[in-house]
Amino acid sequence: MTKDRATPPTILVVDDDSASGDIVARLLAREGYGTRVASSGVEGLRILRTEAIDLILLDVMMPGMDGLQVCAALHAEHSRVPIILLTAKDDTNTRAEGMHLGVTEFLTKPINRAELLGRVRAQLHVIDLARQLETVERNLRQSPKRPSSEPDES
């Protein structure tokens, strides 16, 4: 789903620890972002499939469908929504698997406020640049082709 550029970006926070998810959502809301909170991977996927979400903050370790399984489902659906993976353990295997599944950033819990906001801003900036590029490409495809000027043979 796409959003009107006039509305603030919406960030989906998926974390089975409701206190952690609510704290992150409130922090983001204070910065002017729209937020949605899901307490499970299944609920997060449902929201992603029915609402316009710009960015996902996704906990790795959750019961049932964990964060990497959510990433695999999104990867299989060719989702282009960027994912910042939140992990309590900073191990290279999780990072490698996450990158393979399309994760764009990683944050280690406990989350540092400044780092979280910096990474969110960076990801949203990349999204904005991609949208601008898509608009330019669409305009170029729709514009009438001009004949190329022939070289002057003097």
The three-state (H, E, C) secondary structure of the chain, written as one string: CCCCCCCCCEEEEECCCHHHHHHHHHHHHHCCCEEEEECCHHHHHHHHHHCCCCEEEEECCCCCCCHHHHHHHHHHCCCCCCEEEEECCCCHHHHHHHHHCCCCEEEECCCCHHHHHHHHHHHHHHHHHHHHHHHHHHHHHHCCCCCCCCCCCC
Tell me whether residue 153 is in a domain.
Answer: no
- Residue 113 is part of which domain span? 10-141
Return the pLDDT at 64: 94
CATH number of 99's domain: 3.40.50.2300
- The answer, yes or no, to whether residue 8 has pLDDT greater than 90, is yes
Domain-located, residue 132: yes
Query: Looking at residue 54, what is its pLDDT?
Result: 96
Mean pLDDT along residues 95-106: 92
The Cα angle at residue 113 between residues 5 and 22, in degrees rounded to 5: 75
Query: What is the reported pLDDT for 143?
Result: 79
- Residues 25, 38 contacting (CB under 8 angstroms): no
Query: Is 151 a member of any domain?
Result: no
Number of domains in the chain: 1
Residue 84 belongs to some domain of the structure: yes
pLDDT of res. 1: 45
Is residue 130 a part of any domain in this protein? yes
Asked if residue 97 is part of any domain, the answer here is yes
Average pLDDT (102-122) is: 94
Is 24 within the bounds of a domain? yes
- Tell me what percent of the residues of the chain surpass a pLDDT of 90: 72
pTM of the model: 0.85
3 located within any domain: no
